[in-house]
Structure 1
Amino acid sequence: MMKKQLIMEKALELFAKQGFEATSVQQITEQCGISKGAFYLAFKSKDELILSLIDHFMMQFTSDLDCIVRDTEETNEVLYKFYYSNFSSFYKYSDFAKTFMKEQTHTFNEEFILKIHYYDSQLEKIILCMIERIYGKNLPVKLDIMYSIKGFTNIYSHLFLFSQVPFDLHQLAQSLVEKTELLAKHAKVPFLTEELYQNAKHPVTEEQQKEKILEIIDQKTDELKDDSIVQESFSLLKQQLHEPAFSPAIVKGLLENIRHHPNCQWITYLLQSYWKI
């Protein structure tokens, strides 16, 4: 197991038992069997570690939803699987979310806000892709439906944060599918236009997106040195980012080489989104 991953896993266990404030870097390093120097080579501080855990959760969450929208063969099952996966993931990490909200409000700094905006924009792309797949690209109220779906998931997620009562995720997903279907079929008056939506967004430039992707590719290339196919695919994909020369079919083939690797789902999603594949 890579040292950074080990630190994150052991820290998560301690945070769940003791909370963030009560857990020291010393305790984390003792749990990992490493020195403090090794910790600070991986993370500059405990706050950076916490932000990295949030990154890890959001990458997994977003890439899982993207796979559901892309890979579910039966269109009539996509919305249910989207909701069910969404709430299952939130339920799984609800203890971390509750502890974070209770203890870590001081980390709501600019970096944290930018991360939230970034992952929110990725989620919106996935939901819009799902809506277009289910209801067609010309649905007049698709942007309003997208915000309705976000609202459903946000509001109902509060049940896991503020209630100790167990919930039937299957019934919850079914209930929200029914509500979404009613809105999509009967809503006639759109509020959000494309122009209004674009003006309200927090844009990420194409160059910023490319820089982020190249940074992650370099990181994954270093982490996955033993997988020659992944290494070669990353090398060619990086080349394509700098100087596009390959056909879409070749790019799709290279993405297929990496998409099923458990450590490459997020970068696959980012590349697919960047090239609109």
Structure 2
Amino acid sequence: MSDKKILIIEKASELFAKNGFDATSVQEITDACGISKGSFYLSFKSKESLLFSIFEYFSSKLIERIGSIYQMEIGPRERFEQFFVIQFEEIARYSDFILMQMREQTNPINEDMLGLMNDMRRKTYEAQESLLLNLYGEDIKEHMTDLVVILGGIVKGYIEIIVFNKGSLDYMGLAHYIVERIDSIVNGLSKPFLTTELLAGNGMCLGNQSVTTEELLNEIKLVKKEIADEDLLISLEVIEQELSITNYRKPVISGMLSNFKNNEQTEQLVRKLKKFLN
């Protein structure tokens, strides 16, 4: 995304939050950005398309920040706490804009918007699943669907407080408190109640066939930027080459995956690749 588009998005989101979507004109947005109307329409077809881009920009920032957790040199518990802190911080940062959306209901619920929302939910779920497994081990895998739903309910309640009260909460303290509550829930797990298929039906997780080669190739490019180990880079390049051809060879990709054992930087990518292969 160009610097000009980002400028327009950030200025427009401030104006929408302050004055409302309908009450904010394109002229006011261009004045705040110091650009002409012509320059605006070169970037966005309309004010409605700008609104969609604002959601796209905010969600990409959230997912990018969540992705950065895996580069932090901290333990599994601290990493899981950061997962919540980042969500609370991003919600607080755009709470006025969120309130405007709820008040005016300007959200254009169309196929593109639903796709964007489902993609963000799915990526957040994947990160949460990975963090839960890192902290509590593979034994909780069969309970993952229930854990995601329970956590969603807990987090939603605190998000509402952040949005409506605009109070300054101790996000680190809150994250620590939530993870302690999850400890209690995990310790009390017995027989799973929900199935993965039910969660997938809500757009919150991937079925085995839902990962696309395009998505994997994009993620490989991102992971390569963070990897310094030459052997791992070579393995990533081999996988990348295989996925770039129509008749990719599953045994070759599976063989390369064994090289990433116990590597936290590639854990989420490896999980997706395994789903893709299965």
Which of the five TM-score ranges fits, normalised by the shorter chain? 0.7 to 0.9
2-side partners of 1:2 and 1:141: how far apart?
44
Counterpart of 1:172? 174
2-side partners of 1:29 and 1:204: how far apart?
44
- Residue by residue, what CA displacement relative to the aligned partner does 1:146-167 show, whole Å, maximum 9, x if unpaired? 2222222222100022224432
- Residue by residue, what CA displacement relative to the aligned partner does 1:79-103 show, whole Å, maximum 9, x if unpaired? 2222222211211111111111112
In structure 2, relative to structure 1, the CA distance for the partners of 1:236 and 1:51 (3 Å cut) is: farther
In structure 2, relative to structure 1, the CA distance for the partners of 1:75 and 1:204 (3 Å cut) is: closer
Counterpart of 1:15? 16
2-side partners of 1:173 and 1:89: how far apart?
14
Cα distance, 1:185 vs structure 2: 1.4
In structure 2, relative to structure 1, the CA distance for the partners of 1:42 and 1:118 (3 Å cut) is: same
In structure 2, relative to structure 1, the CA distance for the partners of 1:108 and 1:177 (3 Å cut) is: same
2-side partners of 1:216 and 1:41: how far apart?
30
Tell me if structure 2 keeps the 8 A contact 1:63–1:269.
Answer: no
2-side partners of 1:95 and 1:272: how far apart?
38
1-side partners of 2:187 and 2:270: how far apart?
30
Tell me if structure 2 keeps the 8 A contact 1:66–1:269.
Answer: no
Counterpart of 1:63? 64
Cα distance, 1:205 vs structure 2: 9.3
- Which of 193, 196, 202 is the matching residue for 2:195? 193
1-side partners of 2:271 and 2:8: how far apart?
30
Counterpart of 1:129? 130
**Higher mean displacement: 6-15 or 127-136:** 6-15
Tell me if structure 1 keeps the 8 A contact 2:76–2:135.
Answer: yes
Segments of 5+ residues of structure 2 without an aligned counterpart are: 223-236
Q: What is the alpha-carbon root mean square deviation over aligned residues? A: 3.7
Give me the TM-score of the superposition, normalised by structure 2: 0.73
Counterpart of 2:231? none
2-side partners of 1:271 and 1:40: how far apart?
38
1-side partners of 2:78 and 2:244: how far apart?
38
Counterpart of 2:161? 159
Aligned length: 246
- Residue by residue, what CA displacement relative to the aligned partner does 1:223-272 show, whole Å, maximum 9, x if unpaired? xxxxxxxxxxxx999866533699859xx9xxxxxx9xxxxxxxx99977
Segments of 5+ residues of structure 1 without an aligned counterpart are: 221-234, 253-258, 260-267
Q: Between the two proteins, what is the percent identity of the paired residues?
A: 31
Give me the TM-score of the superposition, normalised by structure 1: 0.73
